[in-house]
């Protein structure tokens, strides 16, 4: 890293890292919820994060604004203020009792990069816009019909018809629109006015995030450059409907047991999925919700209903299509054999999102210039970057090594690895 610019930028970023580390500790303390942290979208926890971000942005004299959905934009002026902008960002909400770094690391990295610019007196070629995004973790907080990633999709004009009414907030039991309004924002503008962001005005979008899997940790690399984000087939409200009856009085062969039917279903689905993986296909799958009704069932009842979810993800659309057909076939077979009914009609589909080739190449160029050990890695989780890429914005992602996974209290990003990620992000934004 002999180049003067890279040394100057890295030194300035490193000087900001203690402040970033203090931010992580403070927000964890202020949103602690038992073993983890909870920052629900459009409620107090997420707002605490946005208020803390706004305070740091104010110290940097960034030009700050908030859109109708509550997303916050912080602008660091560049040389050509009329040029399309370079964007970075991530989200401040978490899953219930989640980890402290998922989402927040990307926003704090953006602040640290812009603080580094100021300290090093660096003026980028174009305006740099940091976006603190609302409700990225929508899948954990909203039921009903919605497309997830609610803040970025609102800003880009990607909502489905009536999504503001059909998505129901689990924390408030209100619609998405009501939750927005109660938080002080304007769902009517989201629904009826042009989108806040114009893709043609965005030169690039770069998002830093902790890795949510074990690849970087296992292979010993601090930084990953994301090749793409897996698409999915999701069943959010699957049901097996059988017959409630006495658990002692009805002979086994006369029963229509929803639990046993569901257990056979998930066991056979695992076998079929593993067969595809053994053929070299890219695939992961899980059933995160799998339960009977605690208000109805007792020890002495055969269960007449089981609710479940399916989440199947892959970079290969054909693998997702094949798994959905397998789900339908297995369900039909078990329904006939056991006299039950499967409700699996409401699959949601999201296409895979390869990250932009030129943007990925730029990140590799930056890692080499900065002397950072970085490898290609795929993303199993969904991210706001995918929504930008789908709207034609050249998007890329930086992963930071993180032990023990994400969406849990044990997220363990090392601050030294984070510093490398911020260096790379700052370089990318300066060169955009």
CA distance 368 to 370: 5
Helix (H, G, I), strand (E, B) or coil at 32: strand
- Do residue 242 and residue 344 come from a single domain? yes
Task: Check which CATH number belongs to the domain holding 247 and give it.
Answer: 3.30.70.360
What's the pLDDT score for residue 300? Answer: 97
- Do residue 257 and residue 144 come from a single domain? no
What's the pLDDT score for residue 416? Answer: 98
Query: Is there a contact between 200 and 83 (Cβ–Cβ < 8 Å)?
Result: no
Q: Which residue has the tokens 């056991």?
A: 338
Q: Strands of 247-363 (E only): list them.
A: 284-286, 290-291, 301-302, 305-314, 341-343, 347-350, 353-354
- Do residue 90 and residue 27 come from a single domain? yes
Q: Which residue has the tokens 């107090």?
A: 44
- Do residue 84 and residue 175 come from a single domain? yes
- Do residue 241 and residue 165 come from a single domain? no
- Do residue 345 and residue 356 come from a single domain? no
- Do residue 108 and residue 25 come from a single domain? yes
What's the pLDDT score for residue 3? Answer: 64
Domain that holds residue 50: 4-230+352-431
CA distance 302 to 291: 14
Closest Cα partner for 72 from 51, 100, 45, 98?
Answer: 51
Q: Strands of 92-244 (E only): list them.
A: 128-133, 142-144, 167-169, 202-210, 223-229, 231-241
Indicate the DSSP class of residue 80: B
CA distance 48 to 14: 26
C-alpha pair distances (Å), 45 with each of 29, 32, 48, 331: 11, 9, 5, 40
Query: Is there a contact between 225 and 367 (Cβ–Cβ < 8 Å)?
Result: yes
CA distance 226 to 291: 35
Query: Is there a contact between 215 and 377 (Cβ–Cβ < 8 Å)?
Result: yes
User: Which residues, given as ranges, of the chain have pLDDT below 70?
Assistant: 1-3
Q: Choose the final residue of a domain: 350, 382, 404.
A: 350
Helix (H, G, I), strand (E, B) or coil at 39: coil
Q: Choose the final residue of a domain: 321, 350, 379.
A: 350
pTM confidence score? 0.87
- Do residue 216 and residue 267 come from a single domain? no
- Do residue 126 and residue 18 come from a single domain? yes
Q: Choose the final residue of a domain: 302, 319, 350.
A: 350
CA distance 102 to 40: 13
- Do residue 273 and residue 239 come from a single domain? yes
- Do residue 177 and residue 285 come from a single domain? no
How many structural domains does the chain have? 2
Q: Under 8 Å CB-to-CB from 400, ≥6 apart: which residues?
A: 105, 208, 209, 210, 211, 216, 222, 223, 224, 413, 417, 418, 420, 421
- Do residue 181 and residue 318 come from a single domain? no
C-alpha pair distances (Å), 400 with each of 16, 103, 151: 17, 12, 23
C-alpha pair distances (Å), 360 with each of 20, 244, 354, 397, 425: 26, 55, 10, 8, 12
Q: 125: burial class by Cβ within 10 Å (0-12, 13-18, 19+)? A: middle
CB atoms within 10 A of CB 84: 17
CA distance 20 to 16: 6
């Amino acid at each position: 890293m002999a180049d003067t610019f890279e040394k100057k930028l890295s030194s300035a970023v490193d000087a900001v890292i203690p402040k970033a580390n203090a931010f992580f500790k403070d927000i964890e303390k202020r949103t602690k919820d038992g073993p983890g942290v909870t920052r629900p979208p459009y409620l107090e926890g997420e707002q605490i994060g946005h208020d803390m971000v706004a305070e740091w942005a104010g110290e940097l004299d960034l030009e700050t604004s908030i859109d109708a959905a509550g997303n916050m934009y912080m602008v660091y002026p560049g040389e050509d203020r009329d040029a399309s902008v370079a964007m970075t960002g991530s989200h401040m909400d978490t899953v219930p009792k989640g980890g402290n770094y998922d989402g927040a690391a990307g926003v704090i990295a953006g602040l640290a990069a812009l603080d580094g610019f100021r300290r090093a007196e660096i003026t980028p070629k174009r305006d740099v816009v940091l976006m603190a995004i609302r409700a990225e973790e929508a899948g954990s907080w909203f039921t009903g019909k919605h497309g997830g990633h609610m803040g970025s999709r609102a800003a880009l004009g990607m909502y489905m018809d009536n999504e503001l009414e059909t998505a129901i907030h689990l924390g408030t039991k209100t619609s998405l629109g009501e939750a927005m309004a109660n938080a002080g924002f304007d769902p009517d503008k989201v629904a009826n006015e042009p989108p806040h962001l114009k893709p043609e005005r965005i030169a690039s979008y770069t998002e830093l995030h902790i890795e949510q899997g074990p690849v970087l940790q296992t292979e010993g690399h601090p930084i990953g450059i994301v090749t793409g984000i897996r698409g999915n087939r999701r069943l959010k409200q699957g049901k097996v409907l059988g017959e409630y009856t006495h658990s002692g009085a009805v002979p086994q062969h006369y029963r229509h047991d929803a639990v046993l039917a569901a257990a056979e279903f998930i066991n056979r689905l695992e076998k079929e999925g593993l067969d595809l993986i053994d053929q070299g296909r890219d695939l992961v799958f899980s059933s995160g919700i799998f339960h009977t009704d605690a208000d109805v069932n007792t020890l002495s009842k055969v269960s007449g209903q089981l609710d479940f979810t399916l989440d199947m993800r892959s970079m290969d659309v054909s693998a997702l299509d094949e798994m959905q057909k397998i789900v339908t076939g297995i369900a039909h077979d078990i329904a006939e054999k056991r006299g039950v009914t499967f409700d699996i009609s409401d699959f949601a589909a999201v296409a895979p999102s390869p990250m932009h080739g030129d943007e990925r190449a730029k990140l590799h160029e930056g890692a080499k210039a900065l002397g950072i050990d970085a490898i290609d890695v795929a993303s199993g989780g969904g991210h706001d970057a995918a929504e930008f890429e789908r709207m034609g914005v050249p998007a890329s992602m930086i992963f930071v090594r993180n032990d023990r996974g994400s969406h849990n209290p044990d997220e363990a990003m090392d601050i030294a690895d984070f510093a490398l990620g911020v260096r790379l992000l700052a370089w990318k934004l300066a060169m955009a």
